[in-house]
């Protein structure tokens, strides 16, 4: 089995667990590849750096499984690296919340044993694709696992986001911007602006305005085969298209289309994993702190 490992370089509290992970992988005699930046970090941080068959420096690598060691940010970066390769991702949480990750560091041996013995399930997660209509300003990394956010730039004034759905004018959102979220991203930026939480495997997308200047502007859930066309208006010369936190400034008046990507992200989950348990345990759903 070929395994590619991606990780955060801020892992001081978890170095013993990371060493155990690589020792366990070596016992299974897997063909191991490690992202270059993470490998350099490990060589300086743990007494016995892992032996790797490949240091991953670009997107020419191949693997049967990718492991993400970190929090949700690391998971999103891993997803960006493997999105077009159809490689399933196992997320091991060494971050703060780790909503996207399935296993904790104290579950590493169990998780790897389950992988090697084919005791796991795979969830397919929808991605969004951003298409610009100006060939000179194509977005280099146009796929989002969490969300696409249309944001104002270089001004405190409102941005107006003219929005069409399936070639039909819908409305113009006036405020700080607009979030178009996947089900996976419904618990991220979308949640912070009052958007609904969706089951991550549902076939929907959410439009959630950011600080709307109207009481009639509320989040909207659409089918994920809807195409959203956006044209921004503002006093500034530019606006920002944020794709999973990656900023892409575009000139005011640019038209972009947001649609379901032609491929999905495959997320490895334990057979014991439950969306309801994740809501309760990680988001403290219904917890009474009185």
Residues with catalytic function: 72
Q: How far is CA 67 from CA 21, 133, 183, 185, in A?
A: 11, 35, 22, 20
The Cα–Cα gap between 233 and 243 comes to: 19
Bridge pairing between strands 2-7 and 31-35: parallel
Closest CA to 76 of 264, 244, 226, 198: 244
For the chain, what is the radius of gyration of the CA atoms? 20
Check residue 85 and report its DSSP letter.
T
Alpha carbon distance 176, 169 (integer Å)? 20
What distance in Å separates the CA atoms of residue 130 and residue 113, rounded to the nearest whole number?
38
């Amino acid at each position: 089995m070929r395994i590619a490992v991606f990780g955060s370089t801020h892992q001081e509290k978890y170095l013993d667990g990371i060493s155990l992970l690589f020792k366990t992988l070596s016992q299974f005699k897997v063909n191991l590849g490690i992202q270059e930046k993470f490998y350099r970090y490990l060589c300086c941080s743990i007494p016995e750096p892992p032996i790797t068959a490949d240091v991953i420096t670009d997107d020419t690598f191949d693997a049967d499984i990718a492991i993400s060691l970190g929090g949700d940010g690391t998971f999103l970066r891993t997803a960006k690296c493997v999105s077009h390769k159809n490689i399933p991702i196992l997320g091991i949480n060494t971050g703060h919340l780790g909503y996207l990750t399935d296993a904790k560091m104290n579950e590493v041996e169990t998780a790897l044993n389950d992988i090697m013995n084919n005791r796991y399930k795979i969830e397919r997660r929808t991605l969004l694709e951003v298409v610009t209509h100006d060939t000179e300003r194509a977005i280099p990394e146009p796929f989002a696992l969490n969300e696409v956010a249309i944001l104002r730039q270089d001004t405190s004034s409102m941005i107006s986001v003219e929005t069409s759905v399936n070639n039909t004018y819908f409305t113009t959102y006036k405020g700080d911007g607009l979030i178009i979220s996947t089900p996976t991203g419904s618990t991220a930026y979308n949640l912070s602006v009052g958007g609904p939480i969706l089951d991550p495997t549902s076939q929907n997308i959410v439009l959630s305005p950011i600080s709307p200047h109207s009481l009639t502007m509320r989040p909207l859930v659409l089918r994920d085969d809807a195409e959203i066309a956006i044209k921004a208006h503002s006093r500034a010369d530019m606006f920002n298209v944020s794709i999973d936190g990656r900023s892409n400034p575009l000139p005011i008046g640019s038209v972009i289309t947001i649609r379901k990507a032609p491929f999905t992200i495959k997320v490895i989950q334990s057979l014991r994993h439950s969306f309801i348990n994740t809501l309760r345990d990680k988001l403290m759903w219904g917890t009474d702190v009185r």
